[in-house]
Chain A
Amino acid sequence: MTEAPKPTPAANSRAGTKKELPEHFKAYKHVWVAVECEYGVVHPVSFELLGEGRKLADKRGAELAGVVMGGDEAAVSAAAAACFEYGADLVYTVTDPVLTHYRNEAYTKGLTDLVNTYQPEILLLGATTLGRDLAGSVATTLRTGLTADCTELAIDDEGSLAATRPTFGGSLLCTIMTLNYRPQMATVRPRVLSMPMREVGRTGRIVPHALGLAEDDVVTKILKFVADRDSDKPQLAYADIVVAGGLGLRSAENFQLVKALAEVLGAEYGGSRPLVQKGWITADRQIGQTGKTIRPKLYIAAGISGAIQHRVGVEGSDLIVAINTDPKAQIFEFAHLGIVADAIELLPALTEAFSKHLSVNRLAG
């Protein structure tokens, strides 16, 4: 959560460095995942968090709980059942028509009340627009620490949550801890963690909880929801193949070369942060720490230097192929295959090579 952490170890004056956890926080146990369920669909990031939460809970000798809030019984039960199959021991449910769609006030109250009643040690949320909106409110209400956009979660030798995230515009990583406050809260972006195996038929306990809010208590009203049409929406995060470009393409026109290769491969396309700032691509196609995190089978990065903020967004890819004219570019430090070449020349050649190969084999087949 720290905005601008110091590169040196924190000074002793910092409140959080005292070793002893205040007495009233000692009862806080167990690991929770706030499950994101909208329009009857659980966001995959919630399952990814349950997978990671399972590991943290096991390490702490604690239970893993999901928190499912929603408007109708059927959707809430279905989401709870899925939580068990992805590793939860128990699920706290809050079912109330007020919770039919996400609204900050109602969800903040629901989650905050649950935390105060059942006292978890660790609370994880997805770093989605919903999760970030909710996490910031809940952490402030509880006056506890929150670390955003973690790329790694671990339990340290003293049993505390060590949350690692990129810092300084993604040029370094830092590990952040909340030692004297509970719960220890963190958000993780979709696709940063791998999807755990689903254990079909696994069950657990359901603990229902009342919201205690009437519709009249909630000031904000949802007048309309316009779903993104699937065709308009890049499916970058969950694509099998992604082709991306960076400043090495030198002009917006040359970005077409990325699209052409993507088309032949049936891939999604995207780009690095500077391309969004230059207006060559829209923000929803940005790949990296502040854009989308991807885990494709094949990722081709053309003319991208590979700053850490980009690296953390693509590191989960099975095969990273980097094309860059600079043999010293940072991207070659984490790519699997590297080609020192001008992307503007190589991209059309790759498009041609794949296109030919696939059509020849198609005819042969």
Chain B
Amino acid sequence: MRIRWIGVSVLVAVVAVVWAASIQGQAPAAAPAAARQAQPAARQATPAAAPARQATGLARAEDGHPNLNGIWQAMNSANYDVEAHNAKPGSHPELMGAWGAEPGGMGIVEGGTIPYKPEALKKKQDNFKNRMLVKVTNDPHRFDTGDTELQCFRPGVPRANYMPFPFQIFQNRDQILMVYEYKGAMRTVFMDKHQEAPVDSWMGWSNGRWEGDTLVIDVTGFNGHQWLDRAGNFFSDTAHVVERWTPRGRDHMMYEATIEDPAVYTRPWKVSFPVYRRLEANAQLLEFNCVPFVEEMMYTPLGLYNPPNRSSR
């Protein structure tokens, strides 16, 4: 009983804040339906949206918007480094050889370089040096650590979209659900009831809208622990990410994310890359529940990991 309370208390802290906010957030929901319905029409009339609206050959949902349902995946090496990078040996070449080596890549950053403030660039470089640092504590120091992916933490946005795992989009008129194979991380995109992020989180709070055939998602409410890749690129809890998902045919979309964070960057900057539909007839997300994969690494230094087959009994 005690154990469960310990675990639950953390959740409760989150839920408590969320409840408070969700209660406040219910007020806008009462806005007149007519006003809400008027918004998409107004957006479609914007010059930027007009050309995209004419795209043909797209699968469409019953409401006329592009139908993004399906399993998608990016095909790039940005998860190693979002900037252009050479192929190189991995962190433990003495053990991992070519298995652990990292492919080169052209990068996905528009203009090539992330516009860090000087002190933030220093932190990025420190991050890289400490990328395999694991610090398991029962206080907030557990987040003074290396890459979150190493410890099976949620990847945040936009990183989740270019990790080397498929993800699945489930689309409704009022909500869009995105489920990522990595960790089974999920996010709900609210298309109708927009609200300010009620609480900070790993995956952020997503408010979505259609601009012509482009799904635009405003993501805020990050907790500031997100890394963008294994190279130490990062943003803070003041980050604001605007994603643009634009289908270019039935089986691929262009993805763009503008990242704004005055605490870290001198100006907003952008990543872009295509995502492709997984066309295998039997394509399906499988579980990648990585918690059991990281327990030995995380808990051995504390003397807390000892699988039964290693005990003396």
Do they bind each other?
no
Question: Which A residues are closer than 8 A to B by beta carbons?
Answer: none
